[in-house]
Amino acid sequence: MLIDLRVPFSFIKKDFLSEASYKLHFLMQLAGILISSLTFFFLSKLFDHNMNTHLKPYGGDYFSFVLIGFAFSNYLQVSLQGFGATIRESQLTGVMEMLLITETRLTTIIISSSLYRFILTSVHILLFLILGVTVFGMNISNANYLAAFIILVLTISSSSCLGILSASFVVIFKKGDPISWLFSSLSWLIGGVYYPISILPEWLQNLSYMVPTRYSLEGMRLALLQGYSIQELLSNIAGLVFFTVIMLPLSLVIFQYAVKKAKVDGTLTQY
């Protein structure tokens, strides 16, 4: 078991060492978090009263609403695009074939090489929340952290399934992955990142049930801002579980097929 954990740990260490060597980029990321938080803070001054009825289920504060939406949508983006991006990056740099020649399975390589992005995103989200609470007065004193954690895990698992599906397209087509494009676009439009889903026309609200972002962000906001219990969040949890159960085996089968096809076509390491 200890030996098996070495692979993910090595990827995290390798990515951290590489990333930390770009010092300016590291600092700019931190500055970016502050600037985004400030932008949402001033934006919230404009929307606070006008959208009160739509924001009421989440406590009525637009800043808290959008900060959680923006911060946690990063998880969705990393899950959705991270796996495909890892494959693409390895193909472009030429490291891919040296990874595949080892005894480590491709799925382990793909998942392990995305871990650092998840850790970095977690740090970013933590910083967002700390800034929100300490500087901008966001209130998460009633938060149900256990429920939030469950939603978080299910968010990562459900969107990772889409991410693996997206990676399958990258393996075969290299560029032009429709899954990532479709779900990213839909997440921004109908996932409730910047505005509550209730302001959308009814047909778009119905369509939003097809996107895991809806269940994630709604569940996360209700858990953190309103302190909802696990029982109260069952519909969100069920939506994410349903996505994971259906998509995980499907995405893995498609990914294996994509790798086999690329090996037959000789394009696995091409870009």
4 touches another protein by CB under 8 A:
yes
Q: Which stretch binds another protein (CB under 8 A): 40-48, 56-64, 98-106, 194-202?
A: 98-106
**What residues between 76 and 95 interact with another protein by CB under 8 A?**
93-95
One residue of 1, 3, 24, 31 binding another protein per CB under 8 A: 3
Contact 167, 110 (CB under 8 A): yes
265 touches another protein by CB under 8 A:
yes
One residue of 43, 100, 127, 207 binding another protein per CB under 8 A: 100
Query: Shortest gap between Cβ of 267 and another protein (angstroms)?
Result: 9
- Considering beta carbons, is residue 14 or 45 the nearer one to another protein? 14
249 touches another protein by CB under 8 A:
no
Contact 186, 211 (CB under 8 A): yes
Contact pattern for another protein over residues 13 through 52, marking x by CB under 8 A: xx--xx--xx------------------------------
Query: Shortest gap between Cβ of 252 and another protein (angstroms)?
Result: 18
- Considering beta carbons, is residue 6 or 56 the nearer one to another protein? 6
C-alpha distance across the termini of the chain, in Å: 35
- Considering beta carbons, is residue 103 or 202 the nearer one to another protein? 103
120 touches another protein by CB under 8 A:
no
Contact 150, 237 (CB under 8 A): yes
Contact 74, 241 (CB under 8 A): no
Query: Shortest gap between Cβ of 8 and another protein (angstroms)?
Result: 9
HEC profile for 24-68?
A: HHHHHHHHHHHHHHHHHHHHHHHHCCCCHHHHHHHCCCHHHHHHH
Q: Which stretch binds another protein (CB under 8 A): 26-34, 99-107, 155-163, 224-232?
A: 99-107
Nearest Cα neighbor of 82 from 156, 135, 8, 134 is: 156
1 touches another protein by CB under 8 A:
no
268 vs 262: CA distance, rounded Å: 5
**Distances from the Cα of 75 to the Cα of 16, 122, 165, 258, angstroms:** 18, 8, 17, 25
101 touches another protein by CB under 8 A:
yes
Q: What is the DSSP string of 147-193?
A: HHHHHHHHHHHHHHHHHHHHHHHHHHHSS--HHHHHHHHHHHHHS-S
* Sites of contact with another protein (CB under 8 A): 3-4, 6-7, 9-10, 13-14, 17-18, 21-22, 93-95, 97-104, 109, 260, 263-266, 268-269
